[in-house]
């Protein structure tokens, strides 16, 4: 049994930067999940000599040690030492090897934050220019990103999309004199001298292409300021060590007899992560699965193909397996204890799950998942961009569970089904179902029917389910939306037709139900709210109406966090500028209501040659632009956008022009969806 020990920073970095090391991750550990600002903060702490806690290691049956607690810190330390210009790395998380972040330090910053002494910048695939210096969990402003992109392309003009830049070609934009932290650490630990340091830095793209910056760097490195900077760091980290507690290997084994002494106990990992980025829910279930079937970890991650989190995928697969061994009953979402109990006590469930994941026959989970993707990515009548597919799968996993279960029964005859009908229904349920989880539960027994997705079948659900409602006509939608133009005191929260119209609009589907009039009114209002709020707010609407633009510009964008503001290569661009509404007094209430609706947004690639001003009027924003169709700007709404050339205060006519632009584009979204999916109420 090894005794507790202290590890130096260099030793910790070699756990992942050296191919030959004896520190391993147990199967229960999750992937690297820290955000850039967390990496920056921990390196600021280290360089200031602050303690960052201890590691917990476990003995194994050989010379290896398992890292039970401290993976996020250990990986952050390794990233600081990582030098992609010269070395390969062997990170615990293989996804990092594909898109490895780089860590930089500003040698001579003009300003620092109130909480950090050192300006550390972490660059990622999604943000190759880094985050803001003063607020390191906020993205750079639009102008800075555009300027950085322009400079990166000057350095490497062969790259079309910024997400294709290599980490050796980019640099932190919001920094004064940045160099890779690895270079500084090499100098601190006497691996290179000052001449080597200068030579390494001068070979960086952003320095060798800039004479002024090169001169500034060279002058600084030979100055006393640099010596003082290095000495301050060296004093604090040269002998910096992190304590590690090494425990017996039995801590990883389940010892509770009530659990039949099976596999690794996840309780330890839940408690260890209580103060950090917690390991819970589906992540913990996935960790338990990996512990039981370590050989299928790569299978799951390959199946997910970056369309869905592996932890969510194993959660869905497990529920399907449970349903299959329980007479196709609806499988409620598992708690961690539910999963453990079923995995360890129900051999039929365990074998079904294992075989369905590891086999390659028609009904294997791999083929079922691939069939789902085949449906979504087909060209049949309407082509979904990949970003929309990912968004729908991850936003509505319960509905995706239903599709996977249906495919588990019908995959053999998939060629007989109309992909368009399935795509259509999946998209419409995503947008307009009142409660998707309850709806899937309600219709679970019907999912074995081959005709489940057909319009004829959903006509039945419109009559019998309170979760699916009939569409109202485009004529009625237009007449109701026009009320905002006719009545300048009509506001969104009051936007309901009279009760009689509500009933007739939805074909009186509740008339024969044994519920009182007040309940009927509330249900109809719920239908109304869902119909209009989905078009107003759900960004999938914008992705759909701009689907050709997304397909042409982002077909290769491969990120699970496709909706996160910090992780996408496009902007949601206000047409009527945000600067004319936010923190402004006397903004008309109708304009304030509509300002953040989809009808005032367009998705726009960062690659576009745009004006640098966020204050441009709608008329200026599209002036001379021959790509209005890309942004789903049609002639009927453009007729009004082009009249809006200034901020609107009390000008009645200009307000009328803007509201017409809002309302017409709002209606155009409905019309595009109705026509694309052949909706004919």
Q: Which of 59-68, 100-109, 310-319 has the lowest mean pLDDT?
A: 59-68
Q: pTM score, two decimals?
A: 0.82
Q: How confident is the model at residue 340 (pLDDT cuts 50, 70, 90)?
A: confident
The mean pLDDT value of the chain amounts to 86
Whether pLDDT at 676 is above 90: yes
Rounded Cα gap, residues 505 and 449, in angstroms = 30
Whether pLDDT at 525 is above 90: yes
Mean of the pLDDT values across residues 581-593? 90
Whether pLDDT at 569 is above 80: no
Q: Which of 224-238, 386-400, 610-624 has the lowest mean pLDDT?
A: 610-624
Rounded Cα gap, residues 33 and 17, in angstroms = 18
pLDDT digits (tens, 9 = 90+) for 214-225: 899 999 999 999
What share of the chain in percent tops pLDDT 70?
Answer: 90
Contact 107, 183 (CB under 8 A): no
> How deeply is 22 buried, as exposed, middle or buried, from its count of CB atoms within 10 A (0-12, 13-18, 19+)?
exposed
Rounded Cα gap, residues 573 and 581, in angstroms = 14
User: Strands 570-574 and 601-605: what pairing?
Assistant: antiparallel
Mean of the pLDDT values across residues 557-569? 52
Three-class SS of 249-299: HHHHECCCHHHCCCCECCHHHHHHCCCCCCCCHHHHHHHHHHHHCHHHHHH
pLDDT at 258: 36
pLDDT digits (tens, 9 = 90+) for 366-417: 999 999 999 999 998 999 998 899 999 988 999 999 999 999 988 777 776 7
List Cα–Cα distances, 169 to 74, 103, 472, 496, in angstroms: 26, 13, 53, 55
Contact 559, 596 (CB under 8 A): no
pLDDT digits (tens, 9 = 90+) for 439-457: 999 999 999 898 999 999 9
Rounded Cα gap, residues 568 and 578, in angstroms = 20
Three-class SS of 10-66: HHHHHHHHCCCCCEECCCCCCCCCCCHHHHHHHHHHHHCCCCCCCEEEEECCCCCEE
pLDDT digits (tens, 9 = 90+) for 137-146: 888 887 888 8
Q: How confident is the model at residue 255 (pLDDT cuts 50, 70, 90)?
A: very low
Which element (helix H / strand E) includes 602?
A: strand 601-605
Q: What is the full DSSP assignment across 306-355?
A: TTS-HHHHHHHHHHHHHHHTTTT---PPPPHHHHHHHHHH-HHHHHHHHH
For the chain, state the CA radius of gyration: 29
pLDDT at 275: 44
Mean of the pLDDT values across residues 164-178? 88
In 3D space, the residue among 436, 356, 374 whose CA is nearest the CA of residue 401 turns out to be 436
């Amino acid at each position: 049994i090894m005794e507790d020990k202290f590890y130096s920073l260099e030793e910790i970095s070699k756990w992942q930067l050296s191919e030959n090391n004896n520190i391993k991750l147990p199967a229960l550990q999750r992937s690297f999940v820290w955000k850039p600002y967390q990496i920056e903060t921990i390196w600021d702490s280290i360089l200031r000599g602050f303690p960052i806690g201890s590691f917990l290691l476990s003995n194994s049956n050989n010379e290896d040690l398992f890292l039970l607690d401290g993976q996020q810190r250990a990986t952050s330390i390794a990233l600081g030492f990582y030098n992609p210009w010269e070395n390969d790395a062997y990170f615990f998380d293989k996804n990092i090897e594909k898109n490895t972040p780089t860590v930089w330090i500003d040698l001579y910053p003009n300003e620092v934050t109130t909480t950090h002494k050192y300006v550390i910048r972490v660059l990622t695939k999604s943000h190759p220019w880094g985050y803001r210096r003063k607020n390191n969990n906020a993205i750079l402003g639009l102008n800075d990103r555009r300027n950085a992109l322009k400079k990166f392309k000057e350095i490497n003009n062969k790259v079309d999309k910024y997400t294709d830049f290599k980490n050796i070609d980019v640099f932190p934009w919001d920094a004064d004199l940045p160099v890779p932290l690895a270079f500084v650490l090499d100098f601190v630990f006497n691996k290179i001298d000052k001449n080597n340091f200068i030579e390494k830095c001068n070979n960086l793209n952003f320095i060798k292409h800039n004479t002024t910056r090169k001169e500034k760097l060279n002058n600084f490195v030979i100055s006393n300021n640099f010596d003082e900077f290095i000495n301050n760091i060296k004093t604090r980290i040269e002998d910096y060590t992190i304590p590690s507690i090494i425990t017996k290997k039995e801590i990883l084994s389940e010892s509770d007899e009530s659990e039949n002494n099976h596999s690794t106990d996840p309780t330890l990992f839940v408690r260890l992560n209580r103060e950090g980025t917690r390991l819970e829910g589906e992540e913990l279930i996935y960790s338990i699965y990996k512990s039981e079937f370590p050989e299928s970890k790569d299978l799951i991650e390959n199946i997910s193909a970056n369309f869905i989190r592996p932890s969510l995928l194993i959660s869905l697969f497990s529920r399907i397996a449970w349903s299959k061994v329980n007479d196709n009953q609806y499988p409620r979402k598992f708690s961690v204890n539910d999963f453990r109990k079923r995995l360890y006590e129900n051999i039929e469930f365990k074998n079904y799950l294992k075989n369905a994941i590891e086999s390659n026959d028609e009904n294997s989970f791999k083929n079922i998942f691939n069939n789902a993707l085949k449906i979504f990515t087909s060209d049949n009548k309407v082509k979904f961009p990949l970003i929309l597919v990912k968004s729908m799968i991850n936003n509505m996993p319960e509905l995706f569970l239903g599709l996977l279960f249906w495919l588990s029964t019908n995959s053999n005859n998939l060629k007989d089904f109309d992909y368009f009908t399935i795509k259509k229904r999946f998209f419409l349920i995503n947008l307009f179902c009142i409660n998707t989880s309850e709806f899937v539960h309600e219709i679970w027994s019907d999912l074995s029917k081959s005709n489940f997705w057909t319009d004829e079948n959903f006509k039945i659900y419109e009559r019998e389910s309170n979760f699916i409602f009939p569409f109202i006509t485009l004529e009625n939608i237009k007449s109701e939306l026009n009320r905002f133009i006719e009545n300048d005191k009509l506001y969104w929260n009051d936007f309901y037709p009279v009760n009689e119209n509500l009933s007739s609009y939805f074909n009186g589907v509740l008339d024969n139900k044994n519920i009182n009039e007040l309940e009927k009114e509330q249900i109809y209002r719920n239908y109304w709210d869902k119909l209009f709020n989905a078009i107003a707010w759900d960004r999938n609407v914008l992705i759909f109406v701009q689907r050709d633009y997304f397909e042409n510009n982002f077909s290769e964008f491969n990120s699970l966090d496709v909706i996160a503001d910090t992780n996408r290569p496009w902007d949601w661009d206000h047409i009527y500028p945000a600067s004319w509404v936010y923190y402004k007094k006397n903004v008309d209430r109708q304009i304030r209501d509509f300002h953040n609706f989809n009808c005032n947004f367009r998705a726009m690639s960062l690659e576009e040659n745009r004006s640098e001003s966020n204050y441009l009027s709608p008329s200026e924003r599209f002036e001379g632009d021959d790509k209005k169709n890309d942004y789903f700007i049609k002639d009927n709404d453009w007729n009004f956008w082009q009249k809006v050339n200034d901020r609107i205060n009390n000008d009645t006519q200009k307000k009328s022009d803007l509201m017409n632009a809002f309302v017409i584009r709002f209606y155009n979204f409905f019309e595009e969806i109705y026509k694309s999916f052949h909706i004919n109420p």
